[in-house]
């Protein structure tokens, strides 16, 4: 299992950041690779969505979803067989089983966003490919957090 941990600070109210990040209609605005919402079901139990416009046989289950005055948390698991899909003529996408834990806390007029992403890289990948997948996942998470920051700060 691979583990990523990232923390960022967004100069926007806690409620704004959580509402933007939590709303599936906004996921394609900031989360790298997620296509616009199509018949997305949200809530405890599960959801369905597309990655870069391609449907994948993945099951996403929401394990924790709460909003309080001092913090909000959203925890999900995504399960499915690791699979490579062709996206266009020159792009392939590897779907990974994962668990994501998003924690939001107000901090002196801004919002701290802490993310823990644990994902399984298939054993059948060569070590060099595994390292590449881990690096790409880290870059995607960092870009997604940067996109969320810009979206929330611009709309604030």
Bridge partners (DSSP) listed for residue 55: 50
Strand stretches in 80-121, DSSP E: 83-87, 91-95, 98-107, 110-119
> Tell me, which fold does domain 2-155 have in CATH?
Alpha-D-Glucose-1,6-Bisphosphate; Chain A, domain 4 (3.30.530)
What letters, b where the CB count within 10 A reaches 16 and e where it falls short, cover 96-114?
A: bbbbbbbebbbeeebbbbe
The pLDDT profile of the chain, 156 residues, written as one tens digit per residue, is: 889 999 999 999 999 999 999 887 788 889 887 765 554 455 544 555 555 555 555 567 889 999 999 999 999 887 765 555 444 444 444 556 789 999 999 999 899 999 999 987 777 777 777 788 888 888 989 999 999 999 999 976
SS3 90: coil
């Amino acid at each position: 299992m691979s583990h990523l941990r990232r923390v960022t600070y967004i100069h926007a109210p806690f409620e704004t950041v959580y509402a933007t990040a939590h709303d599936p209609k906004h996921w394609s605005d900031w989360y790298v690779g997620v296509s616009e919402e199509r018949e997305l079901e949200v809530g405890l139990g599960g959801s369905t969505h597309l990655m870069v416009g391609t449907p994948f046989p993945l099951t996403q289950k929401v394990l924790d979803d709460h909003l309080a005055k001092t913090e909000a948390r959203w925890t999900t698991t995504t399960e499915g067989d690791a699979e490579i899909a062709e996206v266009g003529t020159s792009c392939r996408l590897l779907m990974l089983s994962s668990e994501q834990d998003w924690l939001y806390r107000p901090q002196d007029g801004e919002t701290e966003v802490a993310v823990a992403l644990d994902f399984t890289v298939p054993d059948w990948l060569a070590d060099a490919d595994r390292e590449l997948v881990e690096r790409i996942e880290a870059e995607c998470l960092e870009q997604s957090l940067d996109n969320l920051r810009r979206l929330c700060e611009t709309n604030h």
